[in-house]
Chain A
């Protein structure tokens, strides 16, 4: 009897229709799994956007935006399952996620595209997502790797580096950026003295560093997640005295790099590119000020992309005038791209009024201008971050 009752309770919980006055958006992320520590701030970014929207009048006629979290574990198996739950059980209007490129690829191909649901990815950077036959349903606020590798290569070249060693963590994200970086840097006349993959999550990388040290490289281009191997490699390099100068992409961009290595060791020695919007137009600062209040680091990789993806989905729902899956894709482009009046992070009330008045809007996000091209990708705009004299990252926008 007890089992029967609890089974009935569970069934009631599962089949309960959406509460009146709620509009659900799927928030799929690798909450548990290999990059759990990177994912938490990204979800924080998404939730902050939802909070802003709900605090400033909510969606449409005052409906609450609810982010339904689902765990993709950074694994296509779990990603497909998570997408299924979001699309079919929770009947979400659109999905933000699913963190890793592999999980995202699986989820969109086997769930969201067939079901006609828009997916906005905030951290999947694999070029293969661009090529999908997606009926214009797959969007990304995270730029494809191709851009960032080239941006960093140019930066290194302009900074006067002639010879660099490259090492990258053996995962979908870092392998891609490293490849583009090495090709671009060589294309500019630079020399790659060594280019070597490493397995993440090892306790020591001293032997790898020794192998990379041949050829008088002036610095190390390091493509890794800060938690997987990045911090360990910088620490091992400095402690062994082989490399003193580092350049990295946004998988390394986290305050814990400074906290763990010590600012004094990194001043003038580290540059990290990160997708960013022009500080003159203030979008990032608006986001950063709000996100800091939640106790999280606004500079955490892809946190701002998570915010933008969620905000854009909400704007698209507002623009479409209904929580209607089929109308989101078209509306998404309209609210994201020029022309239109500029909307920045946190300006939901303003956007709502403009949409109601029939004015075109153009969202300029915390992570960049987020203008979707016809593949649903955004161009990469980057900042370079160095460790300043105050022991914090100093950001410089790259034009």
Chain B
């Protein structure tokens, strides 16, 4: 029985992390999926949100800026606002860069932000990070606190999803798609491209800041490692592309799916090893299994890379390809072809 209760709790944690990643992928979907902005500095905005949340809410602050005791919801709002402000400043100078150039500029900026969080010890406690961050609903008994936090995360994902779906079908969303597909034409139609791109960048980054605020609460501890480009930028990209770029449902699905693979693959590989070393197979001794388990941890990353390659080659448009809102019958044939476009 305990076994199943445990799996249930683990399932909740998968959904919570998947949900936080879904907020990130939805944010990225606004930037890349809708508008075609190649933001490779997701980790930076995530970290800004996480640090704002941590600094505003953490009661003890011997080693860092803080002790403001701001209520959690207010701090989450502040995380979004600060993230949006940082994004606005960056967008002001970078937004006219195209595609790969914007990607590399945003990577550079995210790395500089990471150095700031690492070096400005008076504010962030440097590499040691901020600990004991308050988490919403944590005073409830187990498992209700986990459930309540999960409900909050999923609620936020749902609200964002509905809002984005609405925006996508609205004229605003159509302009974004137009910019992505053909900037010159959109410009010729009298749209101020740079203003729209900036808007999209800021909205997406605000969502990433929100994800950071959720992550800080969920982990209760953040340090500069939170903006590790591997798990905070590239993984998010993989999730979006695998799930289906420009499709909000695809973004959510990709986040959930990839997080389950990322986290669950380790259980499978460890179980596989313990099966090999069990009395009934007896292929490996316990010690050998111990050595192999370290090697499997390296190999797991290989398998994740391989799965990614397979998804890319077999389903280049993701699990859920883009669906245009109410396409004109004449355009229906072009919709799939167009979504492959750069």
Chain A interface residues toward B at CB < 8 A: 10, 13-19, 21, 31-32, 40, 43, 47, 50-51, 54, 64, 66-71, 73-78, 80-82, 84-85, 87-91, 100-103, 105-106, 109-110, 114-115, 126, 128, 131-132, 170-172, 175-176, 197, 199
B10 A66 Cβ-Cβ under 8 A: no
Complex Cα distance, B228 from A315, in Å, reads 38
Given contacts A69-B270, A175-B126, 9 further A-B contacts (CB under 8 A): A43-B294, A66-B274, A69-B290, A75-B231, A76-B221, A78-B231, A106-B219, A128-B128, A170-B118
Complex Cα distance, B300 from A40, in Å, reads 16
Most chain B CB inside 10 Å of its own CB: which residue of A77, A87, A197 = A77
Any chain A CB within 8 A of the CB of B218?
yes
Q: Which A residues lie within 8 Å of B222 (CB)?
A: 76, 102, 106
Q: Given contacts A54-B286, A69-B294, A115-B142, are A126 and B128 in contact (CB under 8 A)?
A: yes
Complex Cα distance, B142 from A74, in Å, reads 27
| Binary flags per residue of B204-239, CB closer than 8 Å to A gives 1, else 0 | 000000000001001111110110100100000000
Q: Which B residues lie within 8 Å of A10 (CB)?
A: 268
Instruction: Please name 10 pairs of A and B residues whose Cβ atoms are closer than 8 Å in the assembled complex, sorted by A.
Output: A13-B272, A71-B297, A73-B231, A74-B225, A76-B129, A88-B9, A91-B6, A114-B142, A115-B142, A199-B115
Chain B proximity of A167: nearest CB distance (Å)? 14
Chain B proximity of A166: nearest CB distance (Å)? 15
Q: Which A residues lie within 8 Å of B286 (CB)?
A: 50-51, 54, 64, 66
Instruction: Give the top 7 A-B pairs by smallest Cβ distance, nearest first.
Output: A47-B290, A88-B6, A106-B221, A31-B297, A88-B10, A109-B220, A102-B223
Q: Given contacts A88-B6, A102-B223, are A14 and B264 in contact (CB under 8 A)?
A: yes
* Beta-carbon contacts under 8 Å, B1-49 to A: 2-4, 6-7, 9-10, 13, 17
* Beta-carbon contacts under 8 Å, B268-297 to A: 268, 270-272, 274-275, 278-279, 286-287, 290-291, 293-294, 297
B268 A13 Cβ-Cβ under 8 A: yes
Complex Cα distance, B270 from A110, in Å, reads 23
Any chain A CB within 8 A of the CB of B180?
no
**Which of B271, B279, B294 meets A21, CB within 8 Å?**
B279
Q: Which A residues lie within 8 Å of B63 (CB)?
A: 128
Q: Which B residues lie within 8 Å of A126 (CB)?
A: 128
Chain A proximity of B291: nearest CB distance (Å)? 7
Q: Given contacts A32-B297, A88-B10, A109-B221, are A81 and B17 in contact (CB under 8 A)?
A: yes
> In the complex, what residue of chain B is closest to A114 when comparing beta carbons?
B142
Any chain A CB within 8 A of the CB of B249?
no
A170 B126 Cβ-Cβ under 8 A: yes
**Which of A13, A77, A87, A115 meets B215, CB within 8 Å?**
A77
Complex Cα distance, B290 from A250, in Å, reads 25
Chain B proximity of A63: nearest CB distance (Å)? 12
Secondary structure call for the B interface: helix
Q: Given contacts A76-B225, A109-B132, are A70 and B270 in contact (CB under 8 A)?
A: yes
Q: What interface size band does chain B fall in?
A: 35 or more
B7 A19 Cβ-Cβ under 8 A: no
A175 B128 Cβ-Cβ under 8 A: yes
B218 A19 Cβ-Cβ under 8 A: no
Q: Which B residues lie within 8 Å of A32 (CB)?
A: 297-298, 301
Any chain A CB within 8 A of the CB of B266?
yes
Q: Which B residues lie within 8 Å of A51 (CB)?
A: 286-287, 290
Q: Given contacts A74-B225, A77-B226, are A84 and B10 in contact (CB under 8 A)?
A: yes
> In the complex, what residue of chain A is closest to B301 when comparing beta carbons?
A32
Q: Which B residues lie within 8 Å of A81 (CB)?
A: 13, 17, 263
Chain A proximity of B105: nearest CB distance (Å)? 21
Chain A proximity of B152: nearest CB distance (Å)? 15
**Which of B145, B226, B267, B278 meets A19, CB within 8 Å?**
B278
Q: Given contacts A14-B264, A172-B128, are A85 and B10 in contact (CB under 8 A)?
A: yes
> In the complex, what residue of chain B is closest to A51 when comparing beta carbons?
B287
**Which of B13, B128, B219 meets A88, CB within 8 Å?**
B13
B290 A76 Cβ-Cβ under 8 A: no
B225 A91 Cβ-Cβ under 8 A: no
Any chain A CB within 8 A of the CB of B131?
yes
**Which of B6, B226, B263 meets A87, CB within 8 Å?**
B6
| Binary flags per residue of B94-137, CB closer than 8 Å to A gives 1, else 0 | 00000000000000000000010011010000111101100100
Q: Which A residues lie within 8 Å of B270 (CB)?
A: 68-70, 90
**Which of A66, A67, A78, A102 meets B221, CB within 8 Å?**
A102
Most chain A CB inside 10 Å of its own CB: which residue of B119, B215, B271 = B271
B127 A67 Cβ-Cβ under 8 A: no
Complex Cα distance, B268 from A15, in Å, reads 10
> In the complex, what residue of chain B is closest to A47 when comparing beta carbons?
B290
| Binary flags per residue of B126-161, CB closer than 8 Å to A gives 1, else 0 | 111101100100000010010000000000000000
Complex Cα distance, B77 from A100, in Å, reads 31
Q: Which A residues lie within 8 Å of B135 (CB)?
A: 110
**Which of A64, A77, A103 meets B231, CB within 8 Å?**
A77
Q: Which B residues lie within 8 Å of A132 (CB)?
A: 131-132
Complex Cα distance, B288 from A54, in Å, reads 13
Q: Which B residues lie within 8 Å of A114 (CB)?
A: 142, 145
Chain A proximity of B299: nearest CB distance (Å)? 10
Chain B proximity of A54: nearest CB distance (Å)? 6
A16 B131 Cβ-Cβ under 8 A: no
**Which of B218, B223, B274, B301 meets A80, CB within 8 Å?**
B218
